[in-house]
Amino acid sequence: MMRFTQFEDDAVTVARNLLGQRLVRVFDGERLSGTIVEVEAYLGLHDAAAHTFNGRRTARNESMYLPGGHAYVYMIYGIHHCLNVVCGAAGDGTAVLIRALEPLEACETMLRNRVGGRTLRRELKKHDLCSGPGKLTQAMAIDRDFDGESLTDSSRLWIEQEVVSVAHDSIVSSPRIGVDYAGEWAKEPLRFFLRHNVFLSC
């Protein structure tokens, strides 16, 4: 299957085009994958919710300034990792957060990664495996080691182009989640997801 390579566009275009594509992670020689069903666009230096707002540049967000097609992975709350796809040209500081996946391959391995040897109080259902940015990175064993990874030629993390594209009217937009600090930018409809999908983060 061909790799998705349309990373040079603006963040909104890339975000919408990523829906329906397959995120693939090779873990201990096994393919783990899921269909991308929910994303958020971050528009760079003028977007108050973006890590690169006002040209902010740190060791943490340096990968966000790479050319489109690289991974930007950061940690939140000291425990959860978030996977972003950098887009646009080098220096733009724009990216798309992968918020949720529909698990496809190696679901049992993803379940083991999520549980991590712990006993859950309730059975973890398939629709809970990757229904959030921290959940999907845990399920697919993606951490800061992948920060800056090239998604165009990596042998352990990439996005595959599905043959059938998602219909335009199947995509819903809404404000992003958890960015209340961004003022008016918190209201911008920059979260995109597949209508009626049961694998969404909320």
Q: What is the pLDDT of residues 6-18, one digit of tens each?
A: 999 999 999 999 9
pLDDT of residue 120: 53
CATH number for the domain harbouring residue 102: 3.10.300.10
Residue-number span of the structural domain to which 108 is assigned: 11-194
Assess if residue 84 is contained within a domain: yes
pLDDT band at 112 (very low <50, low <70, confident <90, very high): very high
For residue 117, the model assigns a pLDDT of: 57
Examine residue 175 and state whether it is found in any structural domain, yes or no. yes
Q: Following DSSP, what letter does each residue of 2-33 receive, concatenated?
A: PBP---SS-HHHHHHHHTT-EEEEEETTEEEE
Q: How many domains does the chain have?
A: 1
Q: Is residue 83 assigned to a domain?
A: yes
Residue 5 lies in a domain: no
Phi, psi of 121 (to 5 degrees): -70, -20
The answer as to whether 137 is a domain residue is yes
Average pLDDT score, the chain: 94
The label of the residue with tokens 């309730």 reads 122
Q: What is the pLDDT of residue 31?
A: 98
Contact of 130 with 101, CB cutoff 8 Å: yes
Please report whether residue 61 resides in a domain.
yes
Give the integer Cα–Cα distance in Å for 17 and 1. Answer: 17
Mean of the pLDDT values across residues 137-154?
97
Decide if 2 is inside a domain.
no
Q: Would you say residue 55 lies in a domain?
A: yes
- The residue written with tokens 């009217």 in the block is 169
Query: What pLDDT does 118 receive?
Result: 62
Burial of 170 (0-12, 13-18, 19+ CB in 10 A): middle
Q: Which pLDDT does position 171 carry in this prediction? A: 98
- Nearest by Cα to 59 from 43, 70, 46, 75: 75
Dihedral angle computed from the Cα positions of residues 80, 51, 194 and 5, in that order, rounded to the nearest 10 degrees: -100
Confidence band for 122, pLDDT divided at 50, 70 and 90: low
In this structure, of 38-47, 63-72, 161-170, the range with the lowest mean pLDDT score is 161-170
Residue 79's pLDDT band, with cuts at 50, 70 and 90, is: confident
